[in-house]
Amino acid sequence: MDNLQNALFQFCLRQGDTHLILGHRLSEMCSRGPTLEEDIALTNLALDHIGQAEAFLRLAAETEGRGRTEDDLSYLRSVDEFCNAVLAEQPNTDFAYVVARQFFLDVYQCLLYQRLQNSSDPTLAGMGARFLKEVVYHQRHSAAWVERLGQGTTESHRRIQTAVNELWRYTPELLSTQPWEAALIEKGFIPDTREIALEWTVQVIRVFSRAGLRRPEDPPTASYAGHSDHLAHILAEMQYLPRTYPDAKW
Partner 1 sequence: MVSASDIEALVWERLALIPDPEIPVISILELGVVRNVRYDGKLLELDITPTYTGCPAMQLFVAEIKAAMHDQGLDQVKINTVYSPAWTTDWLTAEAKEKLRRYGIAPPVKNADSGDPFAEPPLVPCPRCDSDHTRLVSQFGATACKSLYTCQDCKEPFEYFKHF
Closest distance to partner 1 from the beta carbon of 231 (Å): 21
Distance separating alpha carbons of residues 239 and 218, to the nearest angstrom: 35
Closest distance to partner 1 from the beta carbon of 225 (Å): 32
Among 60, 88, 105, 110, contact with partner 1 (rule: CB under 8 A) = 110
Closest distance to partner 1 from the beta carbon of 138 (Å): 8
Q: Is 51 in the site for partner 1 (CB under 8 A)?
A: yes
Distance separating alpha carbons of residues 123 and 242, to the nearest angstrom: 29
Q: Per CB under 8 A, which of residues 231..250 are in contact with partner 1?
A: none
Q: Report CA dihedral (142, 147, 152, 157) to the nearest 10 degrees.
A: 90
Among 40, 205, 232, 236, contact with partner 1 (rule: CB under 8 A) = 40
Q: Stretches 93-101, 135-143, 170-178, 190-198: which one binds partner 1 (CB under 8 A)?
A: 135-143
Closest distance to partner 1 from the beta carbon of 142 (Å): 9
Q: Stretches 3-11, 51-59, 67-75, 183-191: which one binds partner 1 (CB under 8 A)?
A: 51-59
Query: Are 160 and 102 in contact, with CB atoms under 8 Å apart?
Result: no
Task: Give which of 137, 143, 141 is closest to 203, Cα–Cα.
Answer: 143
Q: Per CB under 8 A, which of residues 151..170 are in contact with partner 1?
A: none
What residues have CB less than 8 Å from 192, skipping those under 6 apart? 177, 181, 185
Q: Is 219 in the site for partner 1 (CB under 8 A)?
A: no
Distance separating alpha carbons of residues 83 and 245, to the nearest angstrom: 25
- How many CB atoms are located within 10 Å of the residue 183 CB? 19
Q: By 3-state DSSP, what share of the chain in percent is helix, strand and coil, each rounded to 5?
A: 75, 0, 25
Residue numbers at the binding site for partner 1 (CB under 8 A)? 23, 37-38, 40-41, 44-52, 54-55, 106, 110, 122-123, 125-127, 129-134, 136-137, 139-141, 143
